[in-house]
Amino acid sequence: MSETLSHSPKAGSTEEVQRLTLEWVAELLEDPEVRPEDNFLDLGGHSMLALQLSQRAKDKFGAEYDIKVLFESSIAEAGADLANRTVTS
């Protein structure tokens, strides 16, 4: 389910969403060396971890990651995509 949250109080800046995305991925993968250019799947991520990551985003920002973007792009791009969807109409 994709929700647009124009002017939502939960919406975060792109930088905040990317920072939290990196932090959450590092925690879930137990890898403190995660970099923005890394790919979630290449680091060992999988569908169950992606669901946990999406739940964190939903709790914090009211929207979930686009799993296709998370799996095919860099972690930074996945965060930017989520940020874009939480602040645009």
For residue 64, what is the domain's CATH number? 1.10.1200.10
Residue 68 in domain: yes
* Interval 1-33: pLDDT, tens: 444 333 343 567 899 999 999 999 999 999 999
* Interval 28-63: pLDDT, tens: 999 999 999 999 999 999 999 999 999 999 999 999
pTM for the predicted model, two decimal places? 0.83
Residue 26 in domain: yes
Domain count, the chain: 1
Residue 2 in domain: no
Looking at residue 86, its pLDDT comes to: 85
Query: Which range of residues forms the domain containing residue 44?
Result: 14-87
Buried b (16+ CB within 10 A) or exposed e, 51-85: eebbebbeebbbbbbbeebbbebbbbbbbbbbbeb
* Interval 62-80: pLDDT, tens: 999 999 999 999 999 999 9
Looking at residue 7, its pLDDT comes to: 37
User: Rounded distance, CA 28 to CA 22, Å?
Assistant: 10
